[in-house]
Structures are given as structure tokens and as C-alpha cells.
Amino acid sequence: MDNAAIEEMFSSLGPVTIKRMFGGKGIYHHGVIIAIELRGDMMFKADANTGPQFAEAGASQWVYQRQGKAPVSMPYWSVPEDAYDDPDDMARWVRLAVEAGLRADKDKPAKARTQKA
């Protein structure tokens, strides 16, 4: 997914920052990671509050599998398919990703928050 398509997806927020990471891209809003793009798939940040909403909408959670290791469920979910056809629905899922990102950032130790700035 190219940066222009990513920026369009998050247009309801205003500007986002896109950085390379994990062989893909991290999408940030005001310094808080809210999504990742990996192998052409966009995955929104979610947590215990919002993950069930993603699951109910048919999204799937990213599970990281390393050879010889137990799978690890990551806090990122695929974008519900209907959102791609409805800008208002996409804005709703983007907002949920931002909320999860802000909660996760708030839970980080103060030192980690100041180092990223």
C-alpha cells in the first residue's frame, strides 16, 4: 500500500506520520502508533476495549508466528471489509484505533513516552 493510499485512509484525522518498521510501515498520529501496514495489509491498533468490536465486524487479529516459538497475538486487527467502501465507517474504525493507541501510550512508563518524542 503506498503512502498516498494510507494518508487517504486516515484523512478523517488529518496528517499522519508513516515510518518504516517490521518490514512494513507504522502509522502514527501525534507521535502515537495507531496502525501498521505489513505485506500490503493494513492493521489497526486495538485493545481489550476495542478488540471485541473488530472481531464482531469480522476482522482478524494479527498473530505473529516465529519458527519454534509459540504464536503471539499482537494488538493489531485487520480493517473490517465494509469500511473500505464507506468513508464514515472507515473514520469510525480509525477513531477506535486512535483511542486504543492513546490508551496504550498512556500506560507506558514516562521515560518511554519522553524518549519517543
Query: Is the model's pLDDT at 113 over the cut of 80?
Result: no
33: Cβ–Cβ under 8 A, 6 or more apart, which residues? 26, 27, 45, 101
The domain defined by 3-111 folds into: Yope Regulator; Chain: A, (3.30.1460)
Backbone angles phi, psi at 33, to 5 degrees: -70, 130
Residue ranges per domain, the chain?
3-111
Cα atoms in the 13 Å half-sphere on the side-chain side of 15? 3
- 89 Cβ contact partners less than 8 Å away, ≥ 6 residues apart: 80, 82, 83
pLDDT tens, position by position, 57-102: 999 999 988 888 899 999 999 999 999 999 999 999 999 999 999 9
**pLDDT attached to residue 54:** 97
How many angstroms separate the CA atoms of 14 and 82, rounded? 22
Tens of pLDDT, residue by residue over 8-51, are 999 999 999 999 987 899 999 999 999 999 988 999 999 999 99
Residue 33: which of 61, 73, 1, 74 has the closest Cα? 74
The predicted pLDDT at position 105 comes to: 87
Q: What is the pLDDT of residue 111?
A: 46
